[in-house]
């Protein structure tokens, strides 16, 4: 809730020359190896996914987050994000296969493996000689991931664990050489994590490929273990540490998933723009209609906002990671702790980017009209592929609960101070508001003042809710979800404001006309949405005078001195997108 200076945030305009080159080579790879084969990906060609993954391995792209001493590229966090972003734009099948292998399939060993485990497995995973997958979910243990029934029993000679159980929805299972498997030892409270080599002779069998709504060429199967012998030295970290590993690895997976939604948004917008310019109705290209401009502008706005938040948080993680290494932590612990510090942002971004992506794909279908519904045009698969991002890596409901839950926990432990500022806001509510007319002539000054007030809305609602329910707040899920939506929107709009401000400071305000329009449009929508969500929250727990006072506060904190002309903003954004044949910032 504190103020951030624009010069302290990282924006996509800050990429180094090296990062830009990396981006261009990933784009080239996707344009050559994936785009021409799009129809095949929709025909459940799992072998093609494996083939593209192998080629990505040959280029070193599977080793981006693996340290160099284990044959990886050991890239910084922002660059790994960049690769995730651009490798994922063409089809959800590759996005999922890549994410499952480089993220949840490999990172548990990078972060928790001992030296022998790292030496044995990481070079194979980094080069694509082996493929990895992550087997946490079970038929009866999805969101409640620690409730799995898979067991690990120590053999009589104490040399092996025998794993038995059933895992479900396992990405890359069809071609995985290695699985990170979570199982319970005896009656342990928490599950334990194991590195398991895939060997059908060792009690491992697979179900058929799942018949899915989207990501058609991503392999997803059930995996069955029947007394699968796993050497004791293949336990990852310690007994009972599996749930922690699962959650921490998912934190990284979540922000990477946000990255994986970015180029998909750019591509959907680009294709929709070109289609709208070519498609004529009423003797007019449909791109000239206000209804279509509305959609193009909003799709561009969401793309800009998700880029702003994702790269801001990625660099924040990078910075913390470097500081921790400088302070003497080993790189794996430093990365774990750095990501843990930004776990709230990881969940925020996963929710926001997946929902913006879904919106863009949906409007893409609409712009294509009947052709949007046709499997022969690209929007149909984009729409289906987008849907999964709201479900895996923790559903968006679970991630919403996590954002607010983690923040309140941090506040209770005194790691972030929200209770004191919340009390100040409560005091402000009873004071007489200033009737002075502020000077908002400076660039983005009104927007920044509104952002400050939106933070007060959050403090007002969350502070009063904590006071009202204390520990029992957990049981008021609808209220928590409203608070979480407010928090998510504040982070995203702040990221857009800071990016535009930073770029205006270095390149001049005139260079940021479209970026300013997207920022203002998003802020306008955010104010509306926060007003609605805060109102729902307030009326759920406050009555009478308290309710009236808080609703009055809400009006005060969501007030514009002068509204921007939203229609004009959309028109300007859309015209820029149309003249550039897509999102080219």
Ligand X SMILES: Cc1cc2nc3c(=O)[nH]c(=O)nc-3n(C[C@H](O)[C@H](O)[C@H](O)COP(=O)(O)OP(=O)(O)OC[C@H]3O[C@@H](n4cnc5c(N)ncnc54)[C@H](O)[C@@H]3O)c2cc1C
Q: Which residues are the active-site residues?
A: 393
Between CA 32 and CA 549 the distance in angstroms is 60
Site string for ligand X, 169-208 (x = CB under 6 A): xxx-------------------------------------
Binding flag, residue 395, ligand X (CB under 6 A): yes
Interface region with ligand X, contact rule CB under 6 A, candidates 20-28, 128-136, 299-307, 549-557: 128-136
Question: Under rule CB under 6 A, how many of the chain's residues touch ligand X?
Answer: 21
The residue (of 287 and 481) whose beta carbon lies closer to ligand X is 481
Q: How far is the CB of 495 from ligand X (least distance, A)?
A: 25
Q: How far is the CB of 344 from ligand X (least distance, A)?
A: 18
The residue (of 100 and 429) whose beta carbon lies closer to ligand X is 100
Structure token digits, residue 313 = 């948080």
Q: At what angle do helices 477-507 and 445-469 cross, to 10 degrees?
A: 160
The residue (of 241 and 547) whose beta carbon lies closer to ligand X is 241
Q: How far is the CB of 430 from ligand X (least distance, A)?
A: 35
Q: Give the H/E segment covering residue 226.
A: strand 220-231
Q: Is the dihedral of CA 367, 370, 375, 376 positive or negative?
A: negative
Between CA 487 and CA 458 the distance in angstroms is 7
Between CA 428 and CA 194 the distance in angstroms is 54
Binding flag, residue 46, ligand X (CB under 6 A): no
The residue (of 100 and 110) whose beta carbon lies closer to ligand X is 100
Of 41, 86, 121, 134, the one binding ligand X by CB under 6 A: 134
3-class secondary structure, 222: strand
Q: How far is the CB of 313 from ligand X (least distance, A)?
A: 21
The residue (of 486 and 516) whose beta carbon lies closer to ligand X is 486
Q: Exposure string (b/e) for 138-157, b if CB count within 10 Å is 16 or more?
A: beebbeebbebebbbeeeee
Q: How far is the CB of 475 from ligand X (least distance, A)?
A: 11
Q: How far is the CB of 215 from ligand X (least distance, A)?
A: 6
Of 22, 78, 107, 136, the one binding ligand X by CB under 6 A: 136
Q: Do residues 242 and 191 make contact, with C-beta atoms less than 8 angstroms apart?
A: yes
Of 392, 458, 522, 583, the one binding ligand X by CB under 6 A: 392
Closest CA to 336 of 262, 251, 404: 251
The residue (of 179 and 418) whose beta carbon lies closer to ligand X is 179
Interface region with ligand X, contact rule CB under 6 A, candidates 61-69, 80-88, 129-137, 284-292: 129-137
The residue (of 388 and 479) whose beta carbon lies closer to ligand X is 388
Of 135, 261, 361, 493, the one binding ligand X by CB under 6 A: 135
Q: Which residue is nearest to ligand X (CB)?
A: 142
Cα 82 to Cα 24, 123, 255, 416, distances in angstroms? 10, 22, 12, 30
Classify residue 142 by its DSSP letter.
S
The residue (of 17 and 475) whose beta carbon lies closer to ligand X is 475
Secondary structure of 378-446 in HEC code, one letter for each residue: HHHHHHHHHHHHHCCCCCHHHHHHHHHHHHHHHHHCCCCCCHHHHHHHHHHHHCCCCCCCCCCCCCCHH
Q: At what angle do helices 290-326 and 77-87 cross, to 10 degrees?
A: 150
Of 371, 391, 551, 585, the one binding ligand X by CB under 6 A: 391
Interface region with ligand X, contact rule CB under 6 A, candidates 70-78, 252-260, 279-287, 388-396: 388-396
Interface region with ligand X, contact rule CB under 6 A, candidates 48-56, 335-343, 387-395, 410-418: 387-395
Binding flag, residue 397, ligand X (CB under 6 A): yes
Interface region with ligand X, contact rule CB under 6 A, candidates 53-61, 323-331, 336-344, 395-403: 395-403
Return all residues near 326 (Cβ < 8 A) that are at least 6 apart: none
The residue (of 216 and 324) whose beta carbon lies closer to ligand X is 216
3-class secondary structure, 289: coil
The residues with which 138 forms a beta bridge, in sequence order, are: 141
Q: How far is the CB of 277 from ligand X (least distance, A)?
A: 34
Of 93, 137, 248, 520, the one binding ligand X by CB under 6 A: 137
Number of neighbours of residue 445 by Cβ within 10 angstroms? 13
**CA Rg value for the chain:** 25
- Cα angle vertex 60, ends 385, 323, to 5°? 90
Interface region with ligand X, contact rule CB under 6 A, candidates 19-27, 164-172, 348-356, 454-462: 164-172
Q: Do residues 309 and 317 make contact, with C-beta atoms less than 8 angstroms apart?
A: no
Q: How far is the CB of 326 from ligand X (least distance, A)?
A: 35
Interface region with ligand X, contact rule CB under 6 A, candidates 133-141, 194-202, 228-236, 316-324: 133-141
Binding flag, residue 247, ligand X (CB under 6 A): no
Calculate the CA 217 to chain-centre distance: 22
Q: How do the residues of the chain divide into helix, strand and coil, expressed in percent and rounded to 5?
A: 65, 10, 25
Site string for ligand X, 72-111 (x = CB under 6 A): ----------------------------x-----------
Secondary structure of 457-501 in HEC code, one letter for each residue: HHHHHHHHHHHHHHHHHHHCHHHHHHHHHHHHHHHHHHHHHHHHH
Between CA 478 and CA 88 the distance in angstroms is 33
Note the residues at the interface with ligand X (CB under 6 A).
100, 133-137, 142-143, 169-171, 212, 220, 388, 391-392, 394-395, 397-398, 401
């Amino acid at each position: 809730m504190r103020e951030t200076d624009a010069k302290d945030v990282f924006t996509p305009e800050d990429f180094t020359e090296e990062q830009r080159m990396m981006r261009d080579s990933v784009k080239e790879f996707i344009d050559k190896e994936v785009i021409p084969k799009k129809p095949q990906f929709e025909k459940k060609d799992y072998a093609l996914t494996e083939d593209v993954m192998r080629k990505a391995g040959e280029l070193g792209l599977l080793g981006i987050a693996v340290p160099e001493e284990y044959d990886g590229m050991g890239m910084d966090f922002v660059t790994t994000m960049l690769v995730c972003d651009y490798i994922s734009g063409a089809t959800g099948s590759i996005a999922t296969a890549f994410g499952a292998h480089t993220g949840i399939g490999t990172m548990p060993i990078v972060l928790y493996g001992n030296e022998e485990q790292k030496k044995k497995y990481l070079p194979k995973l980094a080069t694509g000689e082996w493929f990895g997958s992550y087997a946490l979910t079970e038929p009866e243990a999805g969101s409640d991931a620690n409730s799995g029934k898979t067991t690990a029993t120590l053999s009589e000679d104490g040399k092996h664990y025998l794993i038995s159980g059933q895992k479900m929805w396992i990405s890359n299972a069809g071609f995985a050489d290695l699985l990170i498997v979570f199982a319970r030892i005896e009656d342990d409270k928490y599950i334990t994590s194991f590195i398991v080599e895939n060997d059908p002779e060792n009690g491992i069998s697979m179900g058929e490929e799942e018949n899915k709504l989207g990501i058609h060429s991503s392999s997803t199967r059930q995996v069955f273990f029947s007394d699968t012998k796993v050497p004791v030295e293949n336990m990852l970290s310690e007994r009972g540490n599996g749930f922690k590993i699962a959650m921490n690895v998912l934190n990284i997976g979540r922000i990477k998933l946000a990255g994986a939604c970015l180029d998909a948004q750019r591509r959907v917008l680009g294709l929709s723009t070109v289609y709208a310019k070519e498609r004529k109705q009423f003797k007019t290209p449909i791109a000239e209609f206000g209804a279509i401009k509305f959609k193009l502008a909003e799709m561009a706005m969401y793309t800009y906002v998700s880029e702003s938040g994702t790269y801001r948080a990625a660099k924040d993680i990078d910075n913390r990671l470097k500081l921790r290494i400088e302070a003497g932590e080993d790189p794996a612990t430093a990365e774990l702790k750095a990501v843990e510090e930004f776990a709230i942002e990881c969940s925020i971004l996963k929710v926001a980017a997946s929902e913006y992506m879904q919106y863009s794909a949906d409007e893409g279908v609409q712009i294509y009209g009947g052709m949007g519904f046709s499997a022969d045009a690209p929007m149909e698969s984009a729409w289906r592929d987008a849907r999964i991002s709201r479900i895996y890596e923790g559903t968006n409901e679970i991630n919403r609960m996590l954002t607010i839950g983690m923040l309140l926990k941090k506040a209770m432990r005194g790691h972030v101070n929200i209770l004191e500022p919340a009390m100040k806001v409560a005091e402000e509510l009873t004071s007489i508001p200033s009737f002075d007319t502020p000077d908002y002539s400076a660039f983005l000054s009104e927007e920044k003042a509104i952002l400050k007030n939106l933070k007060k809305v959050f403090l007002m609602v969350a502070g009063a809710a904590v006071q009202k329910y204390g520990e029992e707040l957990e049981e008021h899920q609808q209220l928590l979800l409203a608070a979480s939506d407010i928090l998510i929107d504040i982070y995203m709009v702040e990221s857009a404001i800071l990016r535009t401000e930073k770029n205006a400071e270095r390149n001049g305000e005139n260079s940021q006309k479209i970026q300013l329009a997207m920022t203002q449009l998003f802020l306008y929508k955010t104010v509306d949405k926060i007003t609605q969500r805060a109102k729902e929250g307030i009326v759920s727990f406050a009555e009478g005078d308290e309710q009236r006072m808080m609703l009055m506060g809400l009006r005060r904190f969501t007030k514009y001195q002068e509204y921007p002309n939203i229609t004009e903003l959309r028109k300007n954004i859309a015209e820029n997108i149309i003249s550039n044949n897509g999102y080219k910032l």
